[in-house]
Amino acid sequence: MAQTTEGKVLNRPDLETIRQAHERIKPYIHRTPVLTSAAVDEMCGATIFFKCENLQKVGAFKARGACNAVFSLDEETASRGVVTHSSGNHAAALAFAAALRGIPAHIVMPSNSPAVKKAAVRGYGGMITECEPTLADREATAERVIEKTGAELIHPFDDYRIIAAQASAAIELVEDVGELDFILAPVGGGGLISGTALAVHYLDMPSKVIACEPENADDAYRSFHEGHIVPMENPSTVADGLRTQLSDKTFDIIRNFVDDIVPVTEEEIVEAMRTIWERMKIIIEPSSAVPVAAVQFGKIAAHGKRVGIILSGGNVDLGNLPF
Amino acid sequence: MAQTTEGKVLNRPDLETIRQAHERIKPYIHRTPVLTSAAVDEMCGATIFFKCENLQKVGAFKARGACNAVFSLDEETASRGVVTHSSGNHAAALAFAAALRGIPAHIVMPSNSPAVKKAAVRGYGGMITECEPTLADREATAERVIEKTGAELIHPFDDYRIIAAQASAAIELVEDVGELDFILAPVGGGGLISGTALAVHYLDMPSKVIACEPENADDAYRSFHEGHIVPMENPSTVADGLRTQLSDKTFDIIRNFVDDIVPVTEEEIVEAMRTIWERMKIIIEPSSAVPVAAVQFGKIAAHGKRVGIILSGGNVDLGNLPF
């Protein structure tokens, strides 16, 4: 059993737990397609398999974790609802999953969140509680919701129910295309890359697992190399899904099972995003472009290799594109 | 055997010819995915299956027809190359198919064609011959290329090799999802809808085949109802792929095998395009949005029905979006 640097015990999900999570969520999520592009392969000098979580329910892999968390609650706990503090894809995913189970979803969002994000949460039936745009007030507000309602807190990534389910994207990818030399995913809070790394580890595959991160928000890169979580305040990157930092649970898995962390620049992210839109005719959000940029701009030794990339999401504001 | 109003004999492709075309092109094209969206179904009140030809090679169904035409040429004819006059997806598709076979592709394009379209053709190895932006000069220039090179003219739609192969998209759709109440496709020159209607006819399916067209370029609608090809000069529509008019071969098939033609407004096209981008995270060009608009805005009695829509292409200029 692993421990954090502060001595907290960490019970990483095992393969059986991951398999159970996958079976639990299958009725509620898409088995997303794996797409390929000869044009992108030629540009990158590799054979790339894109696992299209941008085509997932709610437009992001987050539907996997949220569905697992919500559907693994016992009846009594579930009846009191769920709560999270997030303004991104996890908020919409939790509202979506809660609606499927017919239970309340309380979403704590900063009062200055974009109207389009609030509308997405409300569109899935989520109930928004506004707070000040500070982490302290987000947590305090969530606490008040819990005291009042008894709702279960579902953290976006520091939760093994979430991590176990995020592993299912990599499992499906490998089931569909076979062995890969590299599997790449973006890293923000680390839920997706942790799940991916655990899946590769348990399935005993030779694939190298690479976390990809904006240079402008390289807290995971620093944490990985310094051996402890390096905090980062308000990083400035176009990849809005990757501005969060690692947690105890995700850092433990990343430091043990991820092979490398690769930073890319803002210009590379936007260019890679454009490559996918233009060549593959699918919409990806900037966070998804981060691992694409790592291959397109030669940050990993992928030449001639078989590379899997998890395209994490496709939620963008069409009125505010970076190109 | 059918005849045109001028008495020309028309040998419509039979099922065997369509099957042969499909087998011929399979090694060169994608079997494109059929995607669904609960959110779009709810907006439209129907169960919709989207055949994603926007994810096809060269970003459009045109790859099907071009590959069939190029790979059905005998060796000697093929060695002299192919020629077409088009500035759209057919031009890129013909260059793509010719490159696969290793033969020259001569593309006659108006001198005022956008640089991005010329670049696409050159990117696939096509050789551009510029002409004046009139139909007369396009045809005359193509004639000169033929005299000089002996290249085979491959018309974008008035060619049964093209029509037979465009039928394969509907065949794959029905193979994947089973019987449908409606199958919708856009109509410009009529190659895609002709092939679709022939496929439904030969496979003896109960599906109604609906051609969808911009109100601002409703020559097919008028032709269908007046019983002869009604010409239209320079129609103004955002659906740039649908500005062409029907030919003898496509009109013959449409009047005999298409159940109805439905016009939609420019506003409806743009709104439907946005719906697909936002809800399905895939990039479609305005022409593809035309049949989506027909369902979204209640132009056909699709409520509660199973509807197949062929999303014809995904080639857009990201720097010049209509929303």
The predicted-structure confidence for A24-49, as pLDDT tens digits, reads as follows 999 999 999 999 999 999 999 999 99
Model ipTM value = 0.90
Place of tokens 């797409």: A35
Please report, as a single letter, which amino acid is at residue B303.
H
Q: Is B95 on the interface with A (CB under 8 A)?
A: no
User: Which chain B residues touch A321 with a CB distance below 8 Å?
Assistant: 318
Q: How far apart are the first and last CA of chain B?
A: 47
Checking if the pLDDT of A203 tops 80, the result is yes
As a residue count, chain B comes to: 323
CA–CA dist B296, B268 (Å, integer) = 8
User: Which chain B residues touch A314 with a CB distance below 8 Å?
Assistant: 281
Please compute the mean of the pLDDT values over residues B160-185 and round it to a whole number.
98
CA–CA dist B39, B53 (Å, integer) = 21
User: Which chain B residues touch A270 with a CB distance below 8 Å?
Assistant: none
Q: Residue A4 in contact with residue A252, Cβ under 8 Å? A: yes
A316, two tokens? 């963008």
pLDDT at B8: 74
Checking if the pLDDT of A3 tops 80, the result is no
Checking if the pLDDT of A1 tops 60, the result is no
The predicted-structure confidence for A216-269, as pLDDT tens digits, reads as follows 999 999 999 999 999 988 899 999 999 999 999 999 999 999 999 999 999 999
B2 vs B270, higher pLDDT: B270
Q: Is A43 on the interface with B (CB under 8 A)?
A: no
pLDDT at B134: 85
Burial pattern B292-311, b for ≥16 Cβ within 10 A else e, equals bbbbbbebbebeebbbbbbb
Checking if the pLDDT of A198 tops 70, the result is yes
CA–CA dist B194, B246 (Å, integer) = 10
Q: Is B243 on the interface with A (CB under 8 A)?
A: no
Q: To the nearest whole percent, how much of chain B has pLDDT over 70?
A: 98
Q: In the 8-state DSSP scheme, what is residue A242?
A: G
pTM, 2 dp: 0.93
pLDDT at A40: 97
CA angle, A41 then A295 then B278, to 5°: 80
B243, two tokens? 């500005």
Helix H or strand E encompassing A110: strand A105-110
CA–CA dist A192, A254 (Å, integer) = 10
Structural domains of chain A, ranges and CATH numbers in brackets: 2-60+163-311 (3.40.50.1100), 63-153 (3.40.50.1100)
Checking if the pLDDT of B255 tops 60, the result is yes
Alpha helix ranges (H) inside chain B: 15-25, 38-44, 62-71, 75-79, 89-101, 115-123, 135-149, 160-177, 191-202, 219-226, 248-257, 266-280, 286-296
User: Which chain A residues touch B319 with a CB distance below 8 Å?
Assistant: 323
The predicted-structure confidence for B180-202, as pLDDT tens digits, reads as follows 999 999 999 999 999 999 999 99
DSSP per position, A135-186: HHHHHHHHHHHHHHH-PEE--SSSSHHHHHHHHHHHHHHHHHH---SEEEEE
Are β-strands B306-311 and B47-52 bridged in parallel, bridged antiparallel, or unpaired?
parallel
Are B318 and A321 a contacting pair at CB < 8 A?
yes
Q: How many CB atoms within 10 Å of residue A158?
A: 17
B280 vs B6, higher pLDDT: B280
Q: What is the 3-state secondary structure (H, E, C) of B55-109?
A: HCHHHECHHHHHHHHHHCCCHHHHHCCEEEECCCHHHHHHHHHHHHHCCCEEEEE
Minimal CA separation from B1 to chain A, in Å:
41
Nearest in space to A307 (alpha carbons), one of A319, A298, A317: A298
Are B282 and A278 a contacting pair at CB < 8 A?
no
pLDDT at B1: 52
CA–CA dist B80, A168 (Å, integer) = 52
Of A59, A274, A319, the CB nearest to B318: A274
Helix H or strand E encompassing B182: strand B182-186
